[in-house]
Amino acid sequence: MADASVLSRFTGCLLGGALGDALGYPVEFMNTGEIRSSFGRNGIEEPPIDRELRCSLISDDTQMTLFTAEGIMWADKLGGKHELSSYTTYVFYAYQRWLYTQTKTIASREYSDILDKNAENASRLLREKQLFAQRAPGATCLSALRKAAGHNYGKFTRRINDSKGCGGVMRVAPAGLYFCRDSERAFRMAAEFAAITHTNPTGYLAAGALGAIIAKLVCGSDIEEAVDVAVFILRGYDGCTEVCRALDAARNLEASDIPPLEAVKRLGEGWIAEEALAVGVYCALCHCDNPANALRLAVNHDGDSDSTGSICGNIIGTYCGVEKLPKKWLRRLQLCDVIQETAELLFDCAAAE
């Protein structure tokens, strides 16, 4: 897997997701009219620059994506690659680190060693003070992680809530990257990572579908083929109906004559998992050779713009590779070097698996 094009897809996935996040975050709670009033008739067209930090800000979507990657690499380093449960355990520990960045607390003192700066597996992300910024973190993620003492986090077989919010799916792209050789495994692990906090099947199966899509794109599939594979895997899981229906709607709308803005509206606002995934897929299909336009379409709507932008960015960035991402946007992106380094480290782990 030591291939420059594959590394480009890894890097494109995480940086593309971050660009979609940075473009969508400023308009996350605006409707279309408010977006146009603030940014002009075409809506928001490029990530704005924060005056204080002088960069385009990322939100909790990118924060949690980075911690997902760190958890996977943590398990990989400890030799957990032959036991799938260990990946989920260490991603859970990584999410506890993210919880600490947002609340200065963790669920239990039993996890206190994960914050040890001198430990062999000390977190590189906890050294980044900008990751401690609170950028509208998801209530379900915070609540589920706060209550997870005694490893009482969500699983397929342990339902801790009935949430199918998009907070599970927007963070799991690293599973698709690392497990790219096996799309079914990528699906399973992405779904398990999402279920840590979101245990409605629609919530975690949408995440699984994104993991499978990313895995297939890394291996050279086009977006349509990757979605076909994800739907095939989906149909093997109970509770898949809503996600299958949403992905079918995205593909059917892309093949129709319905105007893109109307099509996005029909897919939903993206606050729930299957809608966010469908919007991301639809926008990537519409502009598969133009990441900037795909991201613009993914965020200029009434809903959860940073999450739909992140998901679209993960998909289009993996498909096109980092070279096709807007260079001007990348130069201004908050923690761009950290995100790129994370992608490269994850690639090294996956290449050595």
CATH code assigned at 70: 1.10.4080.10
The answer to whether the Cα torsion of 118, 119, 120, 122 is positive or negative is negative
pLDDT higher than 90, residue 90: yes
Nearest to 14, CA basis, from 344, 348, 304: 344
What confidence tens digit (pLDDT) does each residue in 276-302 have? 999 999 999 999 999 999 999 999 999
pLDDT higher than 90, residue 43: yes
pLDDT higher than 60, residue 2: no
How many structural domains compose the chain? 1
Residue 164: domain span: 4-352
pLDDT higher than 70, residue 84: no
DSSP state of 47: P
DSSP state of 58: P
What confidence tens digit (pLDDT) does each residue in 123-132 have? 999 999 999 9
pTM: 0.96
Nearest to 154, CA basis, from 175, 166, 168, 170: 168
Over range 105-110, report the average pLDDT.
96
DSSP state of 50: P
Strand partners, 56: 333
pLDDT higher than 50, residue 37: yes
Task: Kindly state the percentage of the chain with pLDDT values over 70.
Answer: 97
> How many angstroms separate the CA atoms of 24 and 47, rounded?
8
Task: Kindly state the percentage of the chain with pLDDT values over 90.
Answer: 94
pLDDT higher than 50, residue 315: yes
Residue 190's pLDDT is 98
88 in helix, strand or coil? Answer: helix
Residue 81's pLDDT is 47
Arithmetic mean of pLDDT over the chain: 95
